[in-house]
Structure 1
Amino acid sequence: MVYSIGEVAAKFNLSVSQLRYYDQIGLFPDIQRDHAGHRQFDDHDVDLVAQIVSLKRANVSLPAITDFLRLYQAGTATLPQRAEILDDQAASLQEQMDRLKETQVYVQFKQWDYDQALATGRDIAVVPADHETFEADFMATLEASADTDGQAAFRRLQARYPAGLCVVPFSEVVAP
């Protein structure tokens, strides 16, 4: 089947100019053109676009995508190099997800902190004298929700900030 650049752009929520740029930098080396010079994407080209989109979502740079696709086109002899690239990217994504989960749990903790302040009428600027008990109460809410990823992230935050999460500036939690 043959697809126009507009059809492919719509399928992947890309702009036509993005696809043209990808073609200009060599990501579609075998793209066919009609008699008027318009790009004609076949199923293989659409699969390439899907790979590019997935790699871009994984924060892979265009030069790295270009290198990866060159390895792909070189055939099965390059499987170990491609596998290593994907392994490295998977590890990087896991690190990003862990940081995001910690940030999410910290925000949830602060929301819970505010809810507690509203419920008890205490000033949120006052750090509880026993922050371990306060944080243990929050952990109990995470345990009740069965959010094991949240529990692990909360434990990492507690280990990183032993003085207590009530006094940790948000900017420290989100810093890379």
Structure 2
Amino acid sequence: MLRSKDVAEMLDISVSTIRYYEKIGIIPPIERNAKGYRIYTNSTLNWIYLMKSLRNAGLSIESLLEFSRLSQVKGPERKKQKQVLENQLHEIDEKIAEMQRVRNLLSYKIETYDDHLAKFQTGELASETAEKLWEVNF
């Protein structure tokens, strides 16, 4: 039987966060044994891991609550849960694209650093003739 401490270590999340998520309803109530200890099923572990991952990806507590609420409803409204995931995926894709552009810019600046520095020192390159980084497609 997994203890809360074991789950926290396994999923890289604090015990207090697990308890908080359960308390406010981000994860479903965790079943307990006769002694009151939490029983962590694969389903429960999946919920904790998913909520931790979505939170780390930038989903607000309110969005996590809505996602969890939608898991309890029946009918077409439940499909809104998929929309929450699709929206988050879109946001992550945009962040990745921006990070890739910045990475390309940094790589370019590292690759051309010595050449640019030499040109500035010789006067071959001046502030007015410097490239316009914002116009380069990284």
TM-score range, shorter chain: 0.7 to 0.9
Q: Work out whether residues 22 and 28 of structure 2, in 8 Å CA contact, stay in contact via their aligned partners in 1.
A: yes
Query: Within the alignment, does 1:122 sit opposite 2:119 as a pair?
Result: yes
Q: Work out whether residues 72 and 78 of structure 1, in 8 Å CA contact, stay in contact via their aligned partners in 2.
A: no
**TM-aligned CA deviation for residue 20 of structure 1:** 1.3
- Report the counterpart of residue 85 of structure 1 in structure 2: 84
**114 and 130 in structure 1: CA distance in 2 versus 1, 3 angstrom threshold:** closer
2:51 is aligned with what amino acid?
I
**TM-aligned CA deviation for residue 58 of structure 1:** 2.1
**TM-aligned CA deviation for residue 24 of structure 1:** 1.5
Bigger RCO (CA 8 Å, 6+ sep): 1
Distance in 2 of aligned mates of 1:81 and 1:104: 34
Q: Work out whether residues 31 and 45 of structure 1, in 8 Å CA contact, stay in contact via their aligned partners in 2.
A: yes
**TM-aligned CA deviation for residue 71 of structure 1:** 0.7
The aligned length equals: 134
- 2:39 counterpart SS class: strand
Q: Deviations over 1:11-43 (max 9, x none)?
A: 111111111111111223331223443322112
- Report the counterpart of residue 24 of structure 1 in structure 2: 23
1:92 is aligned with what amino acid?
E
1:41 is aligned with what amino acid?
Y
5+ unaligned residues in a row in structure 2: which ranges?
none
Distance in 2 of aligned mates of 1:8 and 1:24: 17
1:122 is aligned with what amino acid?
K
Matches for 1:94-113 after TM superposition, within 5 Å: 94-113=93-112
5+ unaligned residues in a row in structure 1: which ranges?
133-157, 166-176
Q: Deviations over 1:138-169 (max 9, x none)?
A: xxxxxxxxxxxxxxxxxxxx6xx23x69xxxx
Q: Work out whether residues 3 and 42 of structure 1, in 8 Å CA contact, stay in contact via their aligned partners in 2.
A: no
**TM-aligned CA deviation for residue 8 of structure 1:** 1.1
TM-score (norm 2): 0.79
- Report the counterpart of residue 65 of structure 2 in structure 1: 66
Identity within the alignment, %: 22
